[in-house]
Amino acid sequence: MDTRPIGIFDSGLGGLTAVGALVQAAPWESFVYFGDTANAPYGDKTRSELAELSGHNIRFLRSRHVKAVLVACNTSTANAMDAMTGEARGLPVVGVIRAAAQAAAPLTKTGRIAVLATAATVRSGAYERAIHALLPEAEVTAVACPRLVPLIEGGHTDPADPALRSAAEEYAAPVRANRADTVILGCTHYPIVRGAIEAALEPGTALVDSGAASVGTLLAALEARDAMGDRKSAGTRQFFCSARREAFARHGTAFLGWPVENVTEIDIRKY
Ligand code: DGL
């Protein structure tokens, strides 16, 4: 047994999609969440910027004595896994991309899978590699969706919001044109606007939530190391961000449906 917390990070609110799934699956686990709201969005950053930012995030979480890190950010997973593994000094580091590809593979009937993701994730080709490792013949349509994260961080999550609707329709168009039957929400922010995305896609399209998919991998990694927490106790929840603490707490609470409170703002560059 290991009762230390799990470290989880994202550029902002997106990783809360993984937090919601973790709290449901393993309510006894404690966690420390960091949202790098001062540096969001990550999706328009270069690989070297992402390695640097992700390194700060890992060092911060290490300073909180976590037992493992869940990289609840596709953009960091796609671009900075080597840098993060180095910084983690032996702590398990679990990303989101392989888990999302594994969740999508059994869902597709036609072998046509689309990935909605940030520009930096699409550019990395990480999803094509992960999907083709499982389904070599799959046709992958990867669509960069740069307008979504700024809208979500700004609180535009109502499916009727005109800016959100127009962005969702624009990004759904290539998915519909290529007749994908399965869509990976390859950015952890996107399940927050699942309603708007679903409304823009062909009815019946299967959606995969990358943050939620990664929780199974994380728990399996803990189990394998005999590092699960104490199932008889309730886990503790700590939230940190690097800017706009109040908006983070407000939007996070609205999404999760339980209070995201006592959010501490930190200067992540110090780590
Ligand atoms: N939520 C993150 C991801 O999964 C980062 C989005 C962003 O900041 O651009 O890629």
CA of residue 118 to ligand 1 center, whole Å: 6
Report pLDDT digits (tens) over 129-144.
999 999 999 999 999 9
Q: What is the rounded distance in angstroms from the CA atom of residue 160 to the CA atom of residue 99? A: 31
> Is 241 a known active-site residue?
no
pLDDT in the model for residue 126:
98
CA of residue 226 to ligand 1 center, whole Å: 31
Helix (H) or strand (E) holding 123: helix 119-124
CA of residue 80 to ligand 1 center, whole Å: 13
pLDDT in the model for residue 226:
98
Whether 153 lines ligand 1, by a CB cut-off of 6 Å, is: no
The SS3 of residue 266 is: coil
pLDDT in the model for residue 34:
98
**Cβ 131 vs Cβ 140: under 8 Å:** yes
| DSSP 8-class letter at 171 | H
Whether 100 lines ligand 1, by a CB cut-off of 6 Å, is: no
pLDDT in the model for residue 139:
98
> Domains plus CATH for the chain?
6-95+212-270 (3.40.50.1860), 97-210 (3.40.50.1860)
- pLDDT band for 48, please (50, 70, 90 cuts): very high
Report pLDDT digits (tens) over 153-204.
999 999 999 999 999 999 999 999 999 999 999 999 999 999 999 999 999 9
pLDDT in the model for residue 128:
98
| DSSP 8-class letter at 74 | H
Whether 79 lines ligand 1, by a CB cut-off of 6 Å, is: no
Can you tell me the mean pLDDT for 222-228? 98
pLDDT in the model for residue 85:
97
Q: What is the rounded distance in angstroms from the CA atom of residue 224 to the CA atom of residue 226? A: 6
| Catalytic option among 94, 101, 187, 268 | 187
pLDDT in the model for residue 1:
97
| Catalytic option among 73, 99, 120, 213 | 73
Report pLDDT digits (tens) over 77-130.
999 999 999 999 999 999 999 999 999 999 999 999 999 999 999 999 999 999
> Is 145 a known active-site residue?
no
| β-sheet bridge partners, residue 208 | 184
Whether 11 lines ligand 1, by a CB cut-off of 6 Å, is: yes
Whether 209 lines ligand 1, by a CB cut-off of 6 Å, is: no
CA of residue 190 to ligand 1 center, whole Å: 9
Whether 76 lines ligand 1, by a CB cut-off of 6 Å, is: no
- pLDDT band for 232, please (50, 70, 90 cuts): very high
